[in-house]
Amino acid sequence: MLRHLRSLQDCTKEELGFFIERALELKKERQAGVAHRQLTGKTIGLIFEKPSTRTRVSFEAAMYGLGGRVIFLSGRDTQLARSEPLKDMARVMARYVDGMVVRTFGQNVVDELACYSSVPVINALTDLHHPCQILSDIMTVIEKKGAIENLKIAWVGDGNNVANSWIQAAELLGFELILACPEGYGPDPEILQKGRRNAAKPIVLVHSPEQAVAEADAINVDVWTSMGQEGQEDVRLAAFRGYQINAALLAKAPSHAIVLHCLPAHRGEEITEEVLESDRCVAFDQAENKMHMHKAILEKLIGG
């Protein structure tokens, strides 16, 4: 049974399918004005050591929308900032809250909290993974295009946390994934190797954005400099030149291909204003879906 969501590796294919189906249902129910109270009496702690707009607010809105409560702690607010051991933090928090949603740098932080916590720990982004994002992104692709198993998904840009989680999703669900990353900016080698070993369909890594988008049904893009990489902007701007999602690149993709961006976007860097604001781009639906998906995740992990 799924208890923590440290990465998509914690999910079975069936659980992933369940999250998608339930999130789509919760979205419809919200649109119909159905009130939910499944998590009345439950409290989650949000521990965020990196900034966030979407993930924080959508988790908070999701929890309140299910009748629960949230305690938000920024990195500065806890004794973690003064080196309290994670194993102590985990055991103390678990006595107060029914679940922890954690955004931090090292994946080891989430893993260690989960190891010592008697309540579910949910990864809200680490340097290595962003599982909740990918669940909402897959939901968005399915909403727009139908069954993802039959689709070709492209990733253009940095082989970062979001890319790593896409690889784990491809491993579980068996859709074709083609990533175009500059030399030296590919995804985590172990995640890629494992994904390739187990996936039912190819997971391909190339250096050509044109090749990645040529047959894509959905094209994913993210920032070139992730949180924690501040100071590398100049070198990254140079490395990613040619990887921008713009009208010229989209002209090489099938006309039905949609563009996904998890946001925040840097217009003029990884994506142009023109593409981001076009009908091809579903970034704002993606952002909305984070809330429905987080409801589905909280309902299952916190509600039981």
Q: Which residue do the tokens 């080698």 mark?
A: 189
Structure tokens at 266: 């840097």
CB of 128 to ligand NVA, least distance (A): 10
CB of 49 to ligand CP, least distance (A): 12
126 binds ligand NVA (CB under 6 A): no
Do residues 258 and 201 make contact, with C-beta atoms less than 8 angstroms apart? no
Do residues 102 and 133 make contact, with C-beta atoms less than 8 angstroms apart? no
DSSP string, 134-202: HHHHHHHHHHHHS-GGG-EEEEES---HHHHHHHHHHHHH--EEEEE--TT----HHHHHHHHHH-SS-
227 binds ligand NVA (CB under 6 A): yes
x/- binding map, residues 140-179, to ligand NVA, per CB under 6 A?
--------------------xxx-----------------
Please list every residue from 42 through 61 that binds ligand CP, using CB under 6 A. Answer: 52-55
What's the CA angle centered on 81, arms 79 and 83, to 5 degrees? 75
By C-alpha distance, which of 181, 125, 144 is closest to 284? 144
CB of 132 to ligand NVA, least distance (A): 10
The residue number whose beta carbon is nearest to ligand CP equals: 55
Which is nearer to ligand CP, 239 or 263 (by Cβ)?
263
133 binds ligand CP (CB under 6 A): yes
Choose the contact partner of 198 out of ligand NVA, ligand CP, none; CB within 5 to 8 A by kind: none
Size of the site for ligand NVA (CB under 6 A): 9
73 binds ligand CP (CB under 6 A): no
x/- binding map, residues 260-279, to ligand NVA, per CB under 6 A?
--x-----------------
Please list every residue from 257 through 286 that binds ligand CP, using CB under 6 A. Answer: 262-264
Q: How far apart are CA 233 and CA 219, in angstroms?
A: 23
Q: Which residue do the tokens 């809200």 mark?
A: 124
What's the CA angle centered on 107, arms 104 and 111, to 5 degrees? 105
**CA dihedral over 291, 263, 6, 177, signed as positive or negative:** positive
223 binds ligand NVA (CB under 6 A): yes
Chain contacts with ligand NVA (rule: CB under 6 A): 125, 160-162, 222-223, 226-227, 262
Chain contacts with ligand CP (rule: CB under 6 A): 52-55, 125, 133, 262-264
